[in-house]
Amino acid sequence: MAIAATQTADGAAASERRGRQPLSFNIDVDMCVIGGGLAGLTLALESAKKGASVVLLESRHIGWNASGHNMGSVMPGYGVSVHDLIDRVGFDNTRELWALAQEGADYIRRTADAIGNVGLSEGALEVSTVDAGDKLIGRLQMLGDDFGTEVEGWQTDRVREALKTSRYFHAIHYPKAFQIDAAQYLQGLARLAEEAGVRIFENTPAVSIDPNGIRKRVVTPSARLRASHIVLAGNIHIGAPAMRLAGTLMPVWRYAAVTEPLGEALSDVIAYKGSVTDAGGVDHFRIVEGDRLMWASPETTWNARPQGFAWAIQRRIKTVFPPLGDVKIDRVFGGTFGQTVHGMPQIGRLRPGLWVVSGFGRQGLNTSSMGGDLISRSILWGDDRWKLFSPFELVWAGGVGGRVVGQVTGSLSRGVAAAAGTLARWREQARQREQARERMRETRIIAARVRSEQAAQRAAQLRQAQERIELNRIEGERMSQDEDAA
């Protein structure tokens, strides 16, 4: 798999060569999609396939931010736990939401097959940094029996056979999860959308939006646009026309690095070919391009220079897999995503003719695709399942204060997870030492028992020898008496 940072830049240049120019003339269409990420492109493509005339406005170029800069994981479910969803919306609605998320994963797999050459690899492993096998069983039963997700429980021995580190214990294996090259997929999705009739205009920010009336109006720097439906599919950079939406998203940055080729040393410590995440949200990595390691850093709510995270990722790799040593980093990339306060995506209708499909931070690619496809169905076919997301309303993210709280909370959460992992490993080592001492005691007891048995055997043999000597003596005396008598 080629890397998103490199491919996004190449994709941007390719889009320029294909003539994706800014919108410079007035236009009237059925639908205007604002935002050229995964959700917006999916929505535009599916709407055009249903016969709608669609214009997509992208303020920069396709794939410049989060949709083109991520680990490419396609997992079941959402960024919120099943138990939290059930507490919020009930069991039946949670099952329907879960089914929608699976539809998103199925959509990406079908579309990836149509695009081709997106580096698809199978399987995802969620490892635990603490010894929590009992909790794992309950979660496996719920995911498998109640939500129809194909899952497997891996014992610690199997995990450590695949990942040569003592930091991980049990794991949940998702054999139907998969990974793609997100940048390649996004560029392929844009090509499919254009082939279906979508008109994509890059470097075209929406300056203002008037959602009133039957025909909504969008003003750009060089033209005006009218549409029956406007869909806000942007991230935190959506800008002035949707400040209320942008204010509900907390910006979160995450960076990832790709090592130089590691050769056989990598396969010696990582035998699993899918993606690996830990339950504490600290580690996320997978093998790419045969013998390179792609590794994501922890999240931050502040923008930074991507290259500055290279040393932190390098150190983390050495901490988790000491045999790899100080790996050399080839390149680093990063992206910004918007995370909602409640942790669920924002999907639905804000008012007649004005829709939103956003807030996919920590959600995985499946939910972005599902959201785009669902809103297309809602607008053109009357699919009302978007109402399942109504309980997750727009909530202000707290501005700068919210970012500070988010950073502190994230750091504390990762710290707690790291501390729990350290404690779990200490307990395991203590248990191993106690087991070693117990084996030593058992060995000593067995040795003492063997020595006692050997001593008893030697004593018995000595008694037998003495008895034979005594019998021989008595027999000798008897024979002498018989000779004297004769």
- Domains of the chain, first to last: 4-424 (3.50.50.60)
Q: CA gyration radius for the chain?
A: 33
User: H-type helices in 176-331, by residue range?
Assistant: 182-195, 243-246, 264-269, 310-320
Q: Give the pLDDT confidence score for residue 448 in this predicted structure.
A: 81
- Give the chain's residues under pLDDT 70: 1-19, 236-247, 301-302, 394-435, 482-486
Residue 165 is predicted with a pLDDT of 94
Residue 4's pLDDT is: 36
pLDDT at 313: 92
Between the alpha carbon of residue 19 and those of residues 39, 194, 199, 222, 414, the distances in Å are 22, 12, 11, 17, 45
Two structure tokens written together for 154: 């891996």
CA dist 297 and 285 (Å) reads 9
Are 364 and 80 within 8 A, CB to CB?
A: no
Dist CA 162 CA 159 (whole Å): 5
* One-letter amino acid of 104: G
pLDDT attached to residue 19? 63
